[in-house]
């Protein structure tokens, strides 16, 4: 396994960190509509921080399989008040977007991290915005785009191909002067992957580690957990999410992106308490 990074976006990574999901959307796969208004989303973010989230990831456009894009202006309207309020409250805020205009607006509102499912390739201005602002970035792998990504994903060697893609995106950021301490990679579980691909990636996480670069994994409530467990309702997949999250930590993940922060924090505390290397 490659040398573990010491930090990401100013966060100490000597132990696993949690990124709490704040969806300001009416149609996200698990909690769409529950926090669609700014006030509800802000309250939810504050509750996640109190439960142990080191990062609050605010998103205004669903990227679930089959999702349709929303207008940029609407995405900005959804996320900026939430980002601004949570950042002013002293929390580390991430913006989950693939659009440069939304990144710029969220950074101006106080976001310290850009979390992009296209790894800064979905908008030609994204890399310029992030590099100029000197903020941190999560670079995720996705085969295809949300509307069609689950139609027929194919790989010859999913771990090798995802790893090569992420390494190339890290190199592109380094070439623009970005520091390793501000770079994080995410294999994109469920984004253009079958059940077999997702399992292979979780088993192959040590091969995806890069020296000095953080590794984030998002498995929370995802479809492959439902397939393995027979649980159709995403919100009922908490136990399966904890199992998959602990497997990711065991494989070298530094950050887990989760809906259920309190439950995941408890699982990690027990995991550490019985002597697991976290």
Tens-place pLDDT, residues 22-55: 999 875 555 555 656 899 999 999 999 999 999 9
pLDDT at 36: 63
Place of tokens 């396994």: 1
The pLDDT score that the predictor gives to residue 254 is 97
CB 113 within 8 A of CB 55: yes
Half-sphere exposure of 113 (CA within 13 A, CB side): 29
Residue 98 or 148, more confident: 98
User: Is 221 annotated as catalytic?
Assistant: no
Q: Read off the CATH number of the domain in which 16 is found.
A: 3.20.20.20
Q: Please tell me the predicted confidence (pLDDT) of residue 171.
A: 98
pLDDT at 150: 79
Residue in 154, 257, 272, 276 annotated catalytic: 257
Virtual torsion, Cα 272, 228, 216, 274, nearest 10 deg: 0
Range of the domain at 176: 7-272
Q: Is residue 219 part of a domain?
A: yes
Q: Provide the domain count of the chain.
A: 1
What does the block give as tokens for 221?
A: 């409530």
Q: What's the pLDDT score for residue 275?
A: 81
Residue 187 in any domain: the answer is yes
Q: Is residue 1 a part of any domain in this protein?
A: no
Instruction: Please check whether residue 2 lies inside any domain of the structure.
Output: no
257 labelled catalytic: yes
The stretch 51-65 carries a mean pLDDT of 91
Instruction: Report the chain's mean pLDDT, rounded to a whole number.
Output: 93
Residue 278 lies in a domain: no
- Residue 27's pLDDT is 53
Residue pair 43/50 in contact by the 8 Å Cβ criterion: no
Query: Tens of pLDDT along 117-162?
Result: 999 999 999 999 999 999 999 999 999 787 777 778 899 999 999 9
Q: Is the pLDDT of residue 187 over 60?
A: yes
Residue 37 lies in a domain: yes
pLDDT at 1: 45
Residue 207 has a CB neighbour count (10 Å cut-off) of: 15
**pLDDT category of residue 199 using cuts at 50, 70 and 90:** very high
């Amino acid at each position: 396994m490659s040398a573990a990074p010491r930090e990401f976006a100013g966060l100490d990574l000597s132990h696993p960190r949690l990124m709490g999901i704040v969806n300001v959307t009416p149609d996200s796969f698990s909690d769409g509509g529950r926090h669609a208004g700014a006030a509800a989303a802000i309250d939810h973010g504050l509750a996640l921080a109190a439960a142990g989230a080191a990062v609050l990831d605010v998103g205004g456009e669903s990227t679930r399989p089959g999702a349709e894009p929303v207008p940029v202006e609407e995405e900005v309207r959804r996320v900026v008040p939430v980002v601004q309020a949570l950042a002013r409250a002293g929390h580390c805020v991430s913006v989950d977007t693939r659009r440069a205009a939304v990144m710029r607006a969220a950074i101006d509102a106080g976001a310290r991290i850009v979390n992009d499912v296209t790894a800064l390739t979905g908008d030609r201005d994204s890399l310029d915005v992030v590099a100029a602002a000197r903020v941190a970035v999560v670079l995720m792998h996705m085969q295809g785009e949300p509307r069609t990504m689950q139609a027929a994903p194919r790989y010859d060697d999913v771990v090798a191909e995802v790893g090569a893609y992420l390494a190339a995106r890290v190199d592109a950021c380094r070439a623009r002067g970005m520091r390793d301490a501000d770079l994080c990679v995410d294999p994109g579980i469920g984004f253009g992957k079958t059940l077999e691909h997702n399992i292979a990636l979780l088993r192959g996480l040590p091969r995806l580690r890069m020296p000095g670069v953080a590794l984030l994994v998002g498995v929370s409530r995802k479809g492959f957990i439902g397939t393995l467990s027979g649980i159709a309702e995403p919100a009922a997949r908490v136990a399966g999410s904890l199992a998959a999250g602990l497997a990711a930590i065991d494989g070298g993940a530094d950050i887990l992106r989760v809906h259920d922060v309190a439950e995941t924090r408890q699982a990690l505390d027990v995991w550490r308490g019985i002597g697991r290397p976290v």
